[in-house]
Amino acid sequence: MTVGEKIQFYRKQIGLSQDELGQKLLVSRQTVSLWEMNKTMPTVDNLLLLKEIFAVSVDDILSESNPVESKRELPKESYRFEYSAAELNDIFKKVRTPLFRNAIIFALSLLFLVISSIGEETPMVMVGMLLGIFFTGMFSHIKGYLVYKKAWKGNQIKMLENTYSYQLFDTYFILNISKSEEIIKTFKIFATDIEKVQDLGTYLILQNGGQAYIIKKGSLINDSLFYSYCKNNKKIIVETRVPRDILKILSIILFVCSIATVLGALMCVSLLSEINHLFVKNMWIFFLFIPVPIASILFAFYLKRKGYRYKKNIVVGIVMTVILCIYASFSFLFTDIYTHNEEPILKVEQLLEIDIPTYSRIQTQDWTRGTQSLPRGYIYFTSDIYFDENSVKDFEKHLSDDIKWMSSIPTDMIGITSYFCDIQAFDYCIIYNTQTNEFNKLPTKSGSYRLINVLYNCESNTMQLVEYEIEYTK
């Protein structure tokens, strides 16, 4: 007997028309007809599908011997599901809950970090990075939700029109999707191929290869094979199963602590900077917090092995580890930008003939090493000087009486101040022209002038020195 004759024999034996067999194989009726007339041969993939449908071996189909009687296994359970719009909307609301929850947790965590950073000594670049992470993350969450919603709505229209018939066997189930009582698709899913199960209370959602199969739990018998599929398959991730007791508590603690590591590190850096005034150099402290998100990642793999939820610990752990490493690297990347010698103080004292109190820390930045895009003048250096409160008591007493110090800058002189000269941020200011040796005066003619600003803040006991060059037009 030829291959075509055997296909025809087995097809008729199980009561399928050429069209129905073609639907199961996702081929046309004409294709099945050509096979049975021996004008074409099925592909390897089609032979494997025919083997499953006919319940015979591939050798039985291809051999010239007479066909054997097909021993088709009878299903252990059968279910037929149709879905209403209300049911599908209810499922969608339950499925989207984690999407909303994750977005809210992400938004609140990042906003908390941003708000906590503003007003501290945190460089604006860090605040900017946090804002960047916030907006990028929120855009990703919103985009992901809209894509998911669109895909769900598209599938919902099809599901309202179709009927889903399940036949359950010991190790697999067969799904026939029908429209107007005509089978349009057939799937055979082995229990070991199921990748994920979501338990939504009244529904089970089985996922495999990007496809989701919605099962109404109310229609299932108590010991349904659907439950045994989930129980026996060790690869399945059951989303409703969460860590219990101590595992759950540890998971939550590590998750929250991982999110809080950046804020905690910023607070420690700020506290240490209050003492030594070396904010950038103190950024190495971020390294000390890295074990927390690393522990969250390792614990997540332990949860995975137990079959519990774990992804949020991994995602947050990786993100926070990367952020901590970036911030910590600042102490090495920018360590050469600042110096701490007293040369700027000695230079200003000699040129301006003023006495600067004994300082506790000085931090000088050389601006000549790179290109500048400041709106006013060319900056040579800036020095931030920090004093103890006791060391400046006598110095502050005489500031108001010293004609070199101005408590406000005349409007016509603002144009010759440096970009850093903000009298609202300081209480006293000196504008010194190194070429004319004049204090707080406009040049008498146009030209390029090198000046020094000395700014002092009584509340914070800090002083700033700025040497710069500016073009002046009379």
CATH number of the domain that residue 60 is part of: 1.10.260.40
Domain termination residue (choose one: 43, 71, 99) = 71
Query: Domain limits at 198?
Result: 80-238
Between these two residues, 399 and 137, which has the higher pLDDT value? 399
Q: Is 244's pLDDT higher than 60?
A: no
Letter for the amino acid at 298? L
Whose tokens are 């670049």? That residue is 125
Q: Is 48's pLDDT higher than 60?
A: yes
Q: Is 235's pLDDT higher than 60?
A: no
- For residue 445, give Cα distances in angstroms to 72, 190, 280, 415: 106, 91, 42, 14
Residues 381 and 269 reside in one and the same domain: no
Which pairing describes strands 237-238 and 196-199: parallel, antiparallel, or unpaired? parallel
- 8-36 burial code (b ≥16 CB/10 A, e <16): bbbbeeeebebebbbbbbebeeebbbbbb
Q: Rounded mean pLDDT of 155-176? A: 87
Q: What does the mean pLDDT of the chain come to?
A: 83
- DSSP secondary structure string for all residues of 53-100: HHTS-HHHHHSSSPPPPP-PPPPSEEEEE---HHHHHHHHHHHHHHHH
Question: Phi and psi for 227 in degrees, rounded to 5?
Answer: -70, -35
- Number of independent structural domains in the chain: 4
Residues 268 and 386 reside in one and the same domain: no
Largest CA distance in the chain: 119
Residues 186 and 279 reside in one and the same domain: no
Q: Is 234's pLDDT higher than 70?
A: no
Residues 350 and 325 reside in one and the same domain: no
Q: Rounded mean pLDDT of 68-83? A: 77
Spatial separation of the C-alpha atoms in residues 32 and 10, rounded to whole Å: 12
What local confidence, expressed as pLDDT, does residue 462 receive? 92
Question: Phi and psi for 75 in degrees, rounded to 5?
Answer: -65, 145
Span of 11-15, 100-104, 166-170, 376-380 with lowest mean pLDDT = 11-15
Residues 58 and 114 reside in one and the same domain: no
What local confidence, expressed as pLDDT, does residue 114 receive? 65
Residues 166 and 225 reside in one and the same domain: yes
Q: What percent of the chain has pLDDT over 90?
A: 21
Most confident of 20-24, 108-112, 146-150, 219-223: 219-223
What local confidence, expressed as pLDDT, does residue 275 receive? 73
Residues 249 and 208 reside in one and the same domain: no
Residues 229 and 88 reside in one and the same domain: yes
Residues 220 and 253 reside in one and the same domain: no
pLDDT band at 159 (very low <50, low <70, confident <90, very high): confident
Residues 177 and 87 reside in one and the same domain: yes
% helix, strand, coil for the chain, step of 5: 50, 20, 30
Residues 313 and 419 reside in one and the same domain: no
Half-sphere exposure of 465 (CA within 13 A, CB side): 23
What local confidence, expressed as pLDDT, does residue 104 receive? 81
- Asked whether the beta carbons of 22 and 29 are under 8 A apart, the reply is yes
Beta bridge partners of 381: 366, 467
pLDDT band at 239 (very low <50, low <70, confident <90, very high): low
Domain termination residue (choose one: 30, 48, 71) = 71
What local confidence, expressed as pLDDT, does residue 369 receive? 77
Letter for the amino acid at 31? T
Q: Is 60's pLDDT higher than 70?
A: yes
Spatial separation of the C-alpha atoms in residues 442 and 24, rounded to whole Å: 92
Sequence-ordered list of residues with C-beta below 8 angstroms from that of 14, at least 6 positions apart, any chain: 53, 54, 70, 72
Domain termination residue (choose one: 223, 238, 253) = 238
Residues 394 and 304 reside in one and the same domain: no
Span of 155-159, 260-264, 277-281 with lowest mean pLDDT = 277-281
